[in-house]
Amino acid sequence: MATPTTIKRRAKTYNRSLLLVAGLGGLLYGIDVGIIAGALPYLEATSGLNAQQLSFVVAAVLMGTVISTVFAGLLADRLGRKRLMILSGMLFAASIPMIALSHGYEPLILGRLCQGISAGLIGVVVPLYLAECLAPEQRGQGTAIFQWLLTIGIVAAALVGMYFSLRVEEVAKLGNPRLLFAFKDRAWRGIFWVSLPPGLLFVIGSFWVAESPRWLFRSGKKDLALAALLRSRSPEQAKMEIDEMERNLAAERAKSVGRKAAESLLRRKYVIPFLLACLILALNQTTGINSIIGYNTAILIGSGLSDVQAHWGYIVFTLVQALATIIGVLLVDRKGRKFLLSVGTAGIVVSLLVAALLFQRTDSRRVDARQAVQAMVGGRNSVELHFTPELERKWVTAAGRPELAGQAASLTIIYSYGDFSAATPVVRSNDLESAVLTLDRKSCVPANGVLAFFSNPFGNLAQARKAPLRIRHALITPLPSEGNGWVVAICMFLFVGFYALGPGICVWLALSELMPTRIRSNGMSIALLFNEMISTFIAAVFLPTVGRYGYAFMFYGFVGFTVLYFIAVTFFLPETKGKTLEEIEAYFSRTGKAGPEWRRADSN
């Protein structure tokens, strides 16, 4: 018979292995979010996709998560947490060759959708699995490690992107445009290939860990549930939790006797935590976190940094996120979820507000050279423009701002054919290798009715296929100084640091801890669905909105929603540190006031 010391040592070893495997899920989620930032400049330079299409490439992962989160809770209940983890890892591994070997818009979107479906499943099942497997005193730290490895995934993606950025810079010095184009094409594909090994490791590790004891118990497999608990607990702790599950289930059945299932789900203990979790997850996305990660290099380039400087800035950005997450891991079970969320959201508001003010100063000097560009286009239905310093001087002067002529500037053109509009990527007049813009019907008008519906539900596709090219806006923005760029970069570092300290860690805890056992998996799916729908919408409109209104407009919007986030977590979110899932469920079933033991925990 094993001694208490041996049992404790085995449990400690298993818990570490469990955290490592579940953490690999966070790593994959981070790679899903961060990999596109390093690949995007080279994909943009070689794919021929316009700004709207590039936005959909970025947003496709988020669209995939919307699709998968609809079914993730049902699948987690039907298949079990462990099997769903295996399935999500296999789907991620399969998506990489689909993306890296793609040629054309449709297969690229399909691969990114598969990657997003994998991310959506991981985003539901891994926090759910951790919440149901870990002891109360480890749950906060365990879920925080998931978030920490998520940030490590973003750091790894940034480092890979930086490696290829340096290689591209070396090839550019050779002065061979065809060689440079070919290398950029290989670069974005290579960035995706590097992310394959973590997916394979996650699949292998998921086969080794035990199934969730609470899923086993709810499935009527009490003996297997006890065996799963014994892998990570002492016999006394395991028996105590099994007894608590039995009492909770018995009480639930007693209350639901003679009631319809739909009526029981409308009780306070289900509705209040569900709505609170949905609100927190929705507001978590309206901080702009996923779009700021995905477009980070573009933001830094637009603030005044060079391409290489922007890639270095993105690496620092990801390192700050990882380091702040470590601090959050150490504090989440000491200071509590509510404290970290309040501090984090307050810091986000301040950092984004300063960044918005800096971009507003730059955007105020923007010139719309629409008439000059339309005159150059004439009656043609497609045109290729090379944005040179000479052309910049001509257009700025024609727009009535000769004092800005001769300065290095960026250009984005918003054009349309009938009811459908597109925005070109942002190019710089001092970057002669990439300052070529192509405006044609193929890059603006959707290829079929399905794509047309998502682009403009009220648009006339047949008319757009015959309509002339119209220049809506040709926005020329003088490039800010390098110093301005580094100040914006510091704001971005502070933004992600505060996000990682609070919302980055605690949002997963809020999702998994607040939901009662009966609705946890499906409730998490629905809450994450709202979360990913908002994230997808923000990512899809980010580039076109920035092209039309500037970064300041987007950042002010993020600030406003984060103020609401601060109010929600400060005044409406209860503290859940140190509580079992059954105790948290009991709290929401009360009439409104917490008991003395809860208030003591809240004040610690």
215 occurs within a structural domain: no
**Cβ atoms 417, 445 nearer than 8 A:** yes
pLDDT at 445 over 90: no
Residue 511 belongs to some domain of the structure: yes
Higher pLDDT pick, 247 / 201: 201
Q: Tell me the average pLDDT across 10-21.
A: 76
Residue 531 and residue 457 share a domain: no
- The values of phi and psi at residue 112, to 5°, are -65, -35
User: How far does CA 181 lie from the centroid of its chain?
Assistant: 29
Distance between CA atoms of residues 459 and 590, nearest Å = 51
Both structure tokens of 452: 């047309």
**Domain co-membership, 50 together with 128:** yes
Kindly report the backbone phi and psi dihedral angles of residue 385, in degrees, each rounded to the nearest multiple of 5, phi listed first. -115, 135
How does residue 600 score in pLDDT terms, banded at 50, 70 and 90?
A: very low
By the 8 A CB rule, do 576 and 586 touch? no
pLDDT of residue 593: 46
Last residue of a domain, one of 431, 465, 481: 481
Across the chain, mean pLDDT equals 79
pLDDT attached to residue 432: 57
Vertex 520: Cα angle to 515 and 521 (nearest 5) = 145
66 and 146, same domain (yes or no): yes
- For residue 516, what are its two tokens? 């009662």
Pick the range with the lowest mean pLDDT from 22-36, 180-194, 257-271, 356-370: 257-271
Both 342 and 422 in a single domain? no
Residue 231 lies in a domain: no
Question: Are both 40 and 166 inside the same structural domain?
Answer: yes
Question: Is residue 313 assigned to a domain?
Answer: yes
| Angle value at C-alpha 301, between 297 and 303, nearest 5 degrees | 115
Structural domain contains residue 92: yes
* 140-154, 402-416, 444-458: range with highest mean pLDDT: 402-416
pLDDT exceeds 80 at position 563 = yes
Higher pLDDT pick, 443 / 460: 460
**Whether residues 375 and 339 fall in one domain:** no
Report d(CA 274, CA 145) in Å as an integer.
24
Buried b (16+ CB within 10 A) or exposed e, 396-426: bbbbebeebbebebbbbbbbbbbbbbbbbbb
Does the pLDDT of residue 298 top 80, yes or no? no
Highest mean pLDDT among 102-106, 340-344, 396-400, 503-507: 340-344
The 10 Å Cβ neighbour count of residue 71 is: 17
Which of these, 497, 151, 495, lies nearest to 322 by C-alpha position? 151
- Are residues 551 and 357 in contact, defined by beta-carbon separation less than 8 angstroms? no
Identify any residues that bridge with 470 across adjacent strands, giving them in sequence order. Answer: 416
Q: Evaluate the CA torsion angle 586, 592, 597, 598 in order and state its sign.
A: positive
Q: Which residues contact 412 (CB under 8 A, 6 or more apart)?
A: 51, 423, 424, 425, 426, 427, 475, 547
- How far, CA to CA in Å, does 27 sit from each of 31, 131, 283, 333, 340? 6, 18, 23, 22, 22
Same domain, residue pair 333 and 375: no
Q: Give the pLDDT confidence score for residue 204 in this predicted structure.
A: 86
Q: And the tokens for 324?
A: 């702040």
Q: Specify if 246 maps to a domain.
A: no
Residue 201: give its domain's CATH number.
1.20.1250.20
Per the rule left: phi > 0, alpha: psi between -120 and 50, beta: everything else, 405 is beta
pLDDT of residue 291: 82
Same domain, 374 and 350: no
**pLDDT above 70 covers what percent of the chain?**
83
Domain range for 455 is: 367-481
Exposed, middle or buried: residue 260 (CB in 10 Å: 0-12, 13-18, 19+)? exposed
What is the three-class DSSP state of 86?
A: helix
Position 440 scores a pLDDT of 86
Residues in the chain: 604
Structurally, the chain folds into a number of domains equal to: 2
- Are 417 and 490 in a shared domain? no
pLDDT tens digits for range 529-541: 777 678 767 876 7
Cα(128)–Cα(432) distance, rounded to whole angstroms? 50
Q: How far apart are CA 29 and CA 20, in angstroms?
A: 14
Q: pLDDT at residue 591 above 50?
A: no
SS3 439: strand
pLDDT of residue 41: 74
Domain-embedded: residue 388: yes
Could you give the C-alpha distances from 597 to 75, 241, 247, 324, 540, in angstroms and in order?
Answer: 36, 19, 20, 31, 46
Whether 522 and 376 share a structural domain: no
Q: How many helices (H) and strands (E) does the chain have?
A: 26, 7
pLDDT digits (tens, 9 = 90+) for 23-37: 777 777 777 666 776
Single residue among 421, 455, 481 that ends a domain in this structure? 481
Say which DSSP state 399 is in: T
Cα atoms in the 13 Å half-sphere on the side-chain side of 483: 0
Show the 3-state SS of 314-358. HHHHHHHHHHHHHHHHHHCCCCCHHHHHHHHHHHHHHHHHHHHHH
Strand partners, 409: 478
Q: What's the chain's Rg over C-alpha atoms?
A: 26
DSSP codes, 48-73: ---HHHHHHHHHHHHHHHHHHHHHHH
Residue 46, pLDDT > 70, answer yes
pTM of the model: 0.66
pLDDT > 60? residue 256: no
472 and 490 in a single domain? The answer is no
**597 with 580: CB under 8 angstroms?**
no
pLDDT bucket at 240, cuts 50 / 70 / 90: confident
Q: Quick one: pLDDT at residue 1?
A: 52
pLDDT at 568 over 80: yes
Partners of residue 471 on adjacent β-strands: 415
- Measured in whole angstroms, the distance separating CA 296 from the mean position of its chain's CA atoms is 12
Out of 481, 511, 544, a domain closes at 481
Structure tokens at 469: 């090219």
How far apart are alpha carbons 58 and 53 in whole angstroms?
A: 9
Q: How far apart are CA 213 and CA 242, in angstroms?
A: 9
Q: How confident is the model at residue 486 (pLDDT cuts 50, 70, 90)?
A: very high
- Give 18: exposed, middle or buried? Use CB within 10 Å, 0-12, 13-18, 19+: buried
**Beta carbons of 592 and 600 less than 8 angstroms apart:** no
For residue 39, pLDDT beyond 90: no
- How do residues 332-355 score in pLDDT, each as one tens digit? 777 878 888 899 999 999 999 999
Q: Is residue 252 part of a domain?
A: no
Residue whose token pair is 């000059």: 372
345 & 389 share domain: no
Answer yes or no: are the C-beta atoms of 333 and 140 closer than 8 Å. yes
Mean pLDDT of 239-244: 80
Nearest alpha-carbon partner for 140 in 14, 322, 329, 12: 329
